Every structure is written in structure tokens, then in C-alpha cells.
Amino acid sequence: MKLSQIEAFYMVIRSGSISRAARQMHLTQPALSLQIRDLEEYFCVQLLERTNKGVKPTPAGELVYYYGQKLMSMKATLCSEIEKLQSSTAKQLRLGASTVLGGYALPCSIHSFKEKFPHAQINLSLANSQAVLEALMEGNLDIALIEGPLPEGVVLSADEFVSRSIGEDDLVLVGAPALIPEGREAVTLAELRGLPLLLREKGSGVRSAIEKALLVQGVQPGELNVMMEINSLDAIKSTLGMGKGYSIISYIGVRKELYYGTLKALTVEGLSYRNVFTMLHKRSAFLSPLEKAFIDFMRSKDKGFC
């Protein structure tokens, strides 16, 4: 079995036609068909079924296509990493960050880094922590920066990836001042259970940090009165500003609203929760000089979160 045969089969399934795949790969149709036939002989099983609309995979073909996707992704990542190693002047840096960290803390860091490395071309993508980590593992990001613990089900190989803490922040319970009686500074855990809450979606680092802290106190996430899950901090803050419920948010994302009094913070008695900021990247041998420079900068005191 050769990688070229797996790639040929992958392209046929993705395009739905041997002729289209042959054109895309700049091969003749007989040459491509021969690769598919050799692959079927290797596995001793039929991989393709021909229909009036083209071709489709058999159950065995589905399995080959599934692993073929992974191999093609690994091939693309390998080629990208080799190109980086061959060029000491790589200029592009692909960063992925969870929404609060990327929207409210990293802009100042990136600005300061650009002052030191004006040639750097930085592409910053924002998503929840789980999506950011998946993009890192798929080779679509160079460096990931997330909040909170690793999402459940996400496993990073210690042989391939490095995880470093770069800071932390308080999580605060906030609501509109009109909802909070004058002089009220705290709520109990029992009261928290009854509050109508707007929370980030599953996979968010903040959501994971909240649930972890509550479990320590014996509170199951399902006991909370979650009125709505929203994947946008700005949408949560807008809803809170209209007096529609409460939320638990990283302080860095609401400090302007707290300063101007459009939102008010409450402590939760007996509950202490911190939002840890974590940077993840591949091991040193796979990093370009620019990636190493950014990692060193983010670990220094010069990073200057906004």
C-alpha cells in the first residue's frame, strides 16, 4: 500500500467521480483507476460502488476514506512544518484564542509584539476553547491560547504538544444594577441555584471553569437554573444590560461595564473560582523562529494584557 493510493481514493470519494478526481490530480483516468484497483487488491475487498451519479464508497471504503482524511491532514501539516524549518524568515503566525482572551486580553499583547517584530503577519482566530484546540491538533493553528481547564474529551499528546500557563483572572457573578438591592454584595450557593443564568456554551473555557468550581462545592451543573446558553460574550452582556438574568463571566471581559456601573458584581459565598489562561503549542523542534519568539514574549512580563 502506498500513500499515493490512499490519496487517490480520498480524492475520488471527495469529488464523487473518478474522472473529476483524475483532472484534479493531473492524472489520466486509467492511471487513477489502476491505483484504486491496486488498493482494493491490497485490502482484498471492494472499496467503490459505481452508480448512475458517479461512485460511492462501500462500508470498507468508508473506513479507508475516514483514515485517508487523517493521513491527508497529517501530510499537509508535515509539508507545512518542513517549509517552516527550511525558512528562518517565516513571517506568518496563526494564532487561535478563546473569545474572552482573544477579544479582551490579547489585542494589547499582539500590538506590543508587533512593535518588537514589525515583519510578523499575525492571523488571529476566535472560537471557544474546544474549537481552538481541535484546530491546533488538526494543524490549522500554530499556537492556541485558551481559558479554563481542557474541555472534556480533548486529549493532547504530551510527546507532541506543550502546555504553559500565562496568567489567570477572576470569574465574577454579574447582573444589572436594577436587579440587585442596594448594599447587596453576595449570594449563597443555594441562592445561586435559583438565579436565572445566561452561560457560555459547552466547550467554552469559562463554562468548564465554572462547572469545575461548583463540583468542588458539591453542586452539580444540572442544578443551575440556566435560562439560556449563548456563544457570544457581547450578546450575554447586552442581555444582562436589559435586566434579563445573571451570568458568571471572566472579570477581564466585564471590567469596563463594572467601572461605568452598567453591570454590578456579586460574590458567591463559599465559592472561589479562577479562570486560568493557557498557551499550547507544538514542541520546540517543530517551531519556527517567529513562533518561538511569540511564545517567549507571552511568557515574559512584557505581554501586557489589555
- We report the CATH number of the domain holding residue 41 as 1.10.10.10
The pLDDT of residue 101 is above 80: yes
Alpha carbon distance 279, 215 (integer Å):
25
Higher pLDDT, 176 or 87: 176
Residue burial 163-180, b: 16+ Cβ < 10 Å; e: rest = eeebbebebbbbbbeebb
DSSP structure string for 137-180: HTTS-SEEEEESSPPTT----TTTEEEEEEEEEEEEEEE-GGGS
**Listed range (117-121, 171-175, 285-289) with the worst mean pLDDT:** 285-289
Residue 288 in domain: yes
Cell numbers found for residue 279: 498557551
Max CA separation in the chain (angstroms): 81
What are 199-216's pLDDT values in tens digits?
999 888 888 888 888 898
175 and 161, same structural domain?
Answer: no
Residue 26 in domain: yes
Neighbours of 18 (CB within 10 A): 21
Choose one of 54, 86, 118: the last residue of a domain: 86
**Residue with the three cell numbers 525558512:** 87
> What H or E segment, with its residue span, contains residue 265?
strand 264-268
266 and 119, same structural domain?
Answer: no
Given this model, what pLDDT does residue 88 score? Answer: 47
**Listed range (80-84, 125-129, 175-179) with the worst mean pLDDT:** 80-84
What are 142-199's pLDDT values in tens digits?
999 998 777 777 777 777 889 999 988 888 999 999 999 888 999 999 999 999 999 9
282 and 251, same structural domain?
Answer: no
Given this model, what pLDDT does residue 245 score? Answer: 93
Angle of the 29-43 helix axis to the 3-15 helix axis, nearest 10: 110
Choose one of 86, 109, 135: the last residue of a domain: 86
> What H or E segment, with its residue span, contains residue 98?
strand 92-98
Q: What total number of domains does the chain contain?
A: 3
Neighbours of 294 (CB within 10 A): 26
228 and 203, same structural domain?
Answer: yes
184 and 262, same structural domain?
Answer: yes
113 and 76, same structural domain?
Answer: no
pTM: 0.66
Which domain does 142 fall in, by range?
A: 92-167+278-299
Alpha carbon distance 306, 118 (integer Å):
20
Mean pLDDT of 101-122: 91
Residue 304 in domain: no
